[in-house]
């Protein structure tokens, strides 16, 4: 029998979709012109980029001129945060508000601003992996330059109250940025209605390739450039446009924003089946983060008495690709800052397992995981000195 291959690490990256891939292909070898050039194939490239911009804008309720293509989510975050802060500094503001469980692109951009004299408030998330709009409101001072809060968490999948925070920031006249890398395609986003000033997203989480992202900046907000260069992106982001990838991102965003509610219903059913299956079969396990405010395809378990990397290696042996927040998988000596932020003790955080589904995952794959994960956990527990049945 062929070894199964079950890819359930879609929060890490996704497979490029057929529709995205075929949309990109002509722009490598046939329509390869530089959009800035003057002849006809260059114009074809230019049109392709502008079509992608329109698709991207439509997917999040923005105007095309509010979309700036970048190289990745991290670049978008750095641009929004560092340059948003720079803009506000001109008005004598030096305070930033974020949370303590952001992606490192946001956390480390904030750390870098601290070195430049900014003060950063890291709002603590609660045990459910959520913050309240009131926490944001209370933290805002007349020195606050920027609020940057992720739309959905990459490790535990919780969805934050972005619309409510948007209302507050609008009322208090504070720039509001959200890292929506994990949320796009899974929640319906309308940047104007939600009072979002800046939004980062990344292609490879929504079935476009790695190496392309975008930053939405609301019309009228003139944040300084992050990457100085030529006249590309109307002079706001230099560098020759990555035409095939931008085309791919446009296509992927168009696909990802279609039929979100029905896709979510299906994913939620599969995810809940997985959660029930694991909780019924494995003792001493918990689900990390709010069950209610959660991405439809995402679940993060903690298994007592076992370590995450061992879980992943054994699952890999069964053809299952997942991830963990243990120290050994984070490449540091501490487990994930997200799991510590929601109050998990180190030893429980070490035993975490994140499963993130996509539309391609099937009921059979869920059944296979419900059968396999308990086997792997009990095998590791049998050799664990801290496990007592």
Q: Is residue 257 within 8 Å of 77, Cβ to Cβ?
A: no
3 near other proteins, rule: CB under 8 A: no
> What is the maximal distance between C-alpha atoms in the chain?
73
Give the one residue of 220, 386, 388, 389 binding other proteins; rule: CB under 8 A: 386
Q: What 8-state DSSP symbol labels residue 221?
A: -
Nearer to other proteins, 33 or 325 (CB): 325
Q: List the one residue out of 221, 182, 207, 181 whose CA is nearest residue 75.
A: 181
SS3 label, residue 184: strand
Quote the CA–CA distance of 91 and 94 in Å, as a whole number: 9
Quote the CA–CA distance of 90 and 93 in Å, as a whole number: 7
333 near other proteins, rule: CB under 8 A: yes
The per-type count for the chain, helices as H runs and strands as E runs, is 15, 12
Instruction: Please pick, among 72, 110, 207, 328, the residue that the annotation labels catalytic.
Output: 328
Nearer to other proteins, 67 or 322 (CB): 322
Q: Measured from the CB of residue 305, what is the shortest distance to other proteins in angstroms?
A: 7
Mask for 123-142, x = binds other proteins (CB under 8 A): --------------------
Q: Measured from the CB of residue 384, what is the shortest distance to other proteins in angstroms?
A: 4
Q: Measured from the CB of residue 329, what is the shortest distance to other proteins in angstroms?
A: 8
b/e map of 368-385 (b: 16 or more CB within 10 Å)? bbbebbbebbbebbeebe
Nearer to other proteins, 297 or 325 (CB): 325
Quote the CA–CA distance of 344 and 352 in Å, as a whole number: 10
Nearer to other proteins, 8 or 110 (CB): 8
Helix extents (H) in the chain: 18-24, 26-29, 40-60, 73-78, 84-89, 104-115, 133-139, 162-172, 243-256, 260-281, 308-317, 327-330, 337-341, 346-349, 363-382
Q: What 8-state DSSP symbol labels residue 187?
A: B
Distance of CA 247 to the CA centre of its chain: 20
Give the one residue of 38, 385, 388, 389 binding other proteins; rule: CB under 8 A: 385
283 near other proteins, rule: CB under 8 A: no
Is residue 328 among the annotated active site residues? yes
Quote the CA–CA distance of 124 and 127 in Å, as a whole number: 10
Nearer to other proteins, 4 or 230 (CB): 4
Q: Measured from the CB of residue 319, what is the shortest distance to other proteins in angstroms?
A: 11
Give the one residue of 335, 342, 373, 376 binding other proteins; rule: CB under 8 A: 335
Q: Measured from the CB of residue 141, what is the shortest distance to other proteins in angstroms?
A: 37
Mask for 303-332, x = binds other proteins (CB under 8 A): --xxxxxx-xxx-xx--------xxx--x-
Q: List the one residue out of 27, 68, 62 whose CA is nearest residue 247.
A: 27
Quote the CA–CA distance of 2 and 61 in Å, as a whole number: 44
Q: Measured from the CB of residue 286, what is the shortest distance to other proteins in angstroms?
A: 16
Binding-site residue total for other proteins (CB under 8 A)?
28
Mask for 347-366, x = binds other proteins (CB under 8 A): x--x----------------
Enumerate binding residues for other proteins (CB under 8 A): 305-310, 312-314, 316-317, 326-328, 331, 333-335, 345-347, 350, 382-387
> Looking at the annotation, which residues are catalytic?
328
């Amino acid at each position: 029998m062929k070894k199964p291959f079950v890819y359930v690490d879609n929060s890490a990256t996704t497979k490029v979709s057929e529709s995205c891939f075929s949309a990109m292909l002509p722009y490598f070898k046939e329509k390869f012109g530089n959009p800035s050039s003057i002849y006809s194939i260059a114009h074809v490239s230019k049109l392709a980029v502008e079509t992608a911009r329109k698709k991207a804008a439509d997917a999040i309720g923005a105007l095309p001129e509010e979309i700036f293509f970048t190289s990745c989510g991290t670049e978008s975050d750095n641009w929004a945060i560092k340059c948003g802060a720079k803009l506000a500094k001109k008005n004598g503001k030096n305070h930033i508000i974020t949370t303590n469980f952001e992606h490192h692109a946001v956390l480390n951009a904030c750390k870098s601003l601290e070195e430049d004299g900014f003060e950063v408030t890291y709002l603590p998330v609660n045990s459910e992996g959520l913050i309240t709009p009131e926490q944001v409101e209370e933290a805002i001072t007349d020195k606050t330059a920027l609020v940057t809060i992720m739309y959905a968490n990459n490790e535990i999948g919780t969805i934050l109250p972005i619309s409510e925070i948007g209302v507050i920031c609008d009322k208090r006249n504070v720039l509001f940025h959200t890292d929506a890398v994990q949320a796009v395609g899974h929640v319906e986003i309308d940047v104007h209605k939600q009072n979002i000033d800046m939004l980062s997203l990344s292609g490879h989480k929504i079935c476009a390739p790695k190496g392309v992202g975008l930053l939405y900046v609301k019309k009228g907000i003139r944040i300084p450039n992050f990457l100085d260069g030529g006249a590309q992106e109307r002079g706001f982001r230099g560098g020759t446009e990555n035409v095939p990838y931008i085309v791919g991102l446009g296509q992927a965003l168009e696909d990802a924003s279609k039929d979100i509610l029905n896709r979510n219903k299906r994913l939620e059913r599969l995810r809940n089946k997985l959660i029930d299956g694991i909780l019924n079969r494995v003792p001493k396990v918990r689900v990390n983060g709010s069950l209610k405010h959660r991405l439809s395809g995402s679940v993060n378990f903690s298994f007592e008495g076992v370590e995450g990397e061992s879980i992943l290696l054994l699952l890999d042996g069964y053809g299952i690709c997942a991830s963990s927040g243990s120290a050994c998988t984070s490449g540091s000596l501490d487990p994930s800052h997200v799991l510590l932020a929601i109050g998990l003790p180190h030893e429980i955080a070490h035993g975490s397992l994140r499963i993130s589904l996509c539309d391609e995952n099937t009921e059979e794959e869920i059944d296979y995981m419900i059968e396999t994960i308990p086997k792997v956990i009990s095998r590791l527990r049998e050799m664990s000195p801290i496990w007592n049945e």
